[in-house]
Structure 1
């Protein structure tokens, strides 16, 4: 039946694809959640945030509950700018826009810079929600494969050179998660980071650096693309979701002043004054580096348990990337359709995300699945992997 609503071209384009969130399959209550890209519940500082909120309202009364919000909001922006500087990417206040999580930042950049003629370059596989966002604006993509050192920038160069030779459109934006990537957990090598920036200059495209997991490195943290960028090619996307609490919905975009100003024009929600004020009050009370060390210690131990369980319970044909930070491990099981296997996993009492949702061409992801070690306990991680091995043995 024809719709009576005069939907925009963007909405009509979005309707060509699966509804957002299709990857979030329902699963049995009590199942071991190896699918959840959530913080460990024990590491979400609920009591500290409760205290910060009480102190905020005691000191400022109704101010944080108004549209304009608390005087602590500029302190939050200052904290972010200082953190960016400490990581080698000094950022002025006018080069920063605080957003409702990283997804709003990605959507704002897409809304401002993309249209139905624009080409987007993406890693393959990539973060499924970013892919869902881009599909609202364009259906033109370049996919670049990943190996243990992240995006294959040499393959990207080949693709771009061939497109230029043929007179085909070059990308307007390249979206990447270069550090502890979702879903693969891989990290772009320094050599490839420099190569990617060189290609951005040579072929005239912008880079969207999604750094949601960048603070969660088990060893030395790689240099930000933003820190290596001398040509204002990088739009940096940051988030407090993985290091404080996802429900607060606070992220940011950092980039050239002109672009940040335009993003602000299209951000009409006036921010989240109460959440931002509360987060600022919380950050006043902690040593952020010590907080991060605690997170990293827990996640590194969990990742080790997952890898040891895989070594014990997976068939010899299985392969995975060794995570050096973040939340995820990417597993390949040759000859197995992981989407079809999911129902058996549910029956056994655990859940994961099938790999197909992370690819533009979902057929490329049939043998893959994403496992998260961040949310559930070490005991459940081991048990979930044991159950997976048991199902594979019976298949």
Structure 2
């Protein structure tokens, strides 16, 4: 039997891409994981989740274990609405969809908006899993460079003007991580957020705002683009993965109710009633502002350790952006292919993600790598960068 003959043409095209997760290195035992964009294990509220499960089942018995789930699923929606309102995003129930994490949210948006004729614009570099998703739906992807102030909106305008002048298809939407970007850690300044909204109206495209790290500032949280949106052009994606626990798979999309209705059509009943109900109970019994304060303190301190280690152990030729929040530091090593360097780094017992995986044209990322300060402890961070410095030193 020729299994491939049964796949749709879209699937055959998508399966020619690199497999999901190809960027993730196989780590030797004892390796210091500066590649892992995961929360600090000590910050996962295991006991709080355990207590929430016990309370949920004690109070509701079998309800959360059925298809329809618990009444607390609706309460979770209200809890997220309140958190969004505190950040300037005021939405009614019909403008909010709970998803199984941010990746399902991005995939659903791609599913309803993209086809092989559609163009999508992305930042360069950008989140590699979003690239993987978009490439499953279209090959027409254009990238716009970022700098320390976020996406270069003047370059975006040049691209849009040129495509319009040549009669080329304009982007259906632009995907951006404006706040503590993955992989660079940079934050888009307010002027560029406003300019981006102006361009979206002028050239009639949507904005997919991925705000997964938006609450993890070391100082003040920048306003989400959605909070500045007056015409409904922004689809805002958020998640509790970085501030509670990624395994709970709680994310959301906010947007115009017509978009949310279409997204629900394709999402169908692919909810996780038990997980959503448990999260609702956890949030009911958690001082979330206090928790966020703890997260910020821990990640601020770990980032400072990483930056000090970079200054101490890496050559002067190496440069990086200084993040104001989030999980990541983006490093450039001139003249070095970081993909080829990775095997030596792993042999020394430290991992990172080569920069090429974050670019549409992977050759643009050969000199870069992404380091995460979120998962490893401070001692491991210092030791990891010292090991990395030994690997880089000969170059």
Q: TM-score range by the shorter chain?
A: over 0.9
TM-score normalised to structure 1 length: 0.99
Matched residue of 2:208: which SS?
Answer: strand
Using the alignment, how far apart are the partners of 1:10 and 1:268 within structure 2?
Answer: 21
In the TM superposition, what are the counterparts of 1:242-391 in structure 2 within 5 Å? Answer: 242-391=242-391
Task: Map 1:26-41; keep pairs closer than 5 Å.
Answer: 26-41=26-41
Q: 2:130 corresponds to which residue? A: 130
Residue 142 of structure 1: how far off its partner (Å): 1.3
8 Å Cα contact 1:13-1:135 kept in structure 2: no
Matched residue count: 395
Root-mean-square deviation (Å): 1.0
Tell me whether 1:106 sits opposite 2:106 in the alignment: yes
Query: In structure 2, how many angstroms separate the alpha carbons of the residues matched to 1:253 and 1:4?
Result: 34
- TM-fit CA distance, 1:95: 0.4
Map Cα deviations across residues 231-274 of structure 1 (whole Å, 9 max, x no partner): 11000001000000000011000000001001000003430000
Structure 1 residue 141 displacement after superposition: 1.2
Q: Which runs of 5+ in 1 are unaligned?
A: none
Q: How far apart are 1:61 and its partner, in Å?
A: 0.4
Alignment deviations for residues 216-244 of structure 1 (CA, whole Å, 9 cap, x no partner):
00011111100000111000001000000
Aligned to 1:147: 147
Cα displacement (A) at 1:83: 1.0
Q: CA–CA distance in 1 between the matches of 2:184 and 2:114?
A: 26
C-alpha distance in 2 between matches for 1:12 and 1:354: 27
Cα separation, 2, equivalents of 1:332 and 1:344 = 17
Residue 129 of structure 1, CA deviation: 0.3
Question: 1:157 aligns to what?
Answer: 157
**2:211 matched to 1:181?**
no
Give 1:5 shift: 2.9
In 1, Cα distance between equivalents of 2:27 and 2:120? 33
Structure 1 position 84, deviation (Å)? 1.1
Which stretch shows the higher mean deviation, 12-21 or 142-151?
12-21
Distance, in Å, in 2 between the alignment partners of 1:162 and 1:2 is 45
Consecutive unaligned residues in structure 2, runs of 5 or more: none
TM-score by length of 2: 0.99
Rounded to whole Å, the distance in 2 between the matches of 1:144 and 1:18 is 22
Aligned to 1:237: 237
> How far apart in 2 are the matches of 1:209 and 1:365?
23
* Counterpart secondary structure, 2:238: strand
- Give structure 1 regions of 4+ aligned residues with deviation exceeding 6 angstroms: none
Contact 1:115/1:137 (<8 A) preserved: yes
**Greater displacement, 309-318 / 6-15:** 6-15
Any idea what the Cα deviations from partners look like across 1:98-144, whole Å, max 9, x if unmatched?
00000000000000010001000000000000000000000001100
- Deviation of 1:394 after TM superposition, in Å, equals 3.1
Task: Tell me, in whole angstroms, the C-alpha distance in 2 between the residues paired with 1:360 and 1:185.
Answer: 18
What secondary structure is seen at the aligned counterpart in 2 of 1:394? coil
- Separation of aligned partners in 2, 1:269 and 1:350: 42
Are the aligned partners of 1:67 and 1:270 in contact in 2 as well (CA < 8 Å)? no
C-alpha separation between the residues in 2 aligned to 1:174 and 1:4? Answer: 33
The alignment status of 1:203 with 2:203, answered yes or no, reads: yes
Q: C-alpha separation between the residues in 2 aligned to 1:364 and 1:214?
A: 27
Are the aligned partners of 1:98 and 1:253 in contact in 2 as well (CA < 8 Å)? yes
In the alignment, which residue of structure 1 is the partner of 2:94?
A: 94
Shift in Å at residue 322 of structure 1? 0.2
1:1-39 per-position Cα deviation (integer Å, ceiling 9, x unaligned): 965433223212212311111001211011000000000
- How far apart, in 2, do the equivalents of 1:82 and 1:229 lie? 18
Q: 2: CA distance between counterparts of 1:287 and 1:209?
A: 27
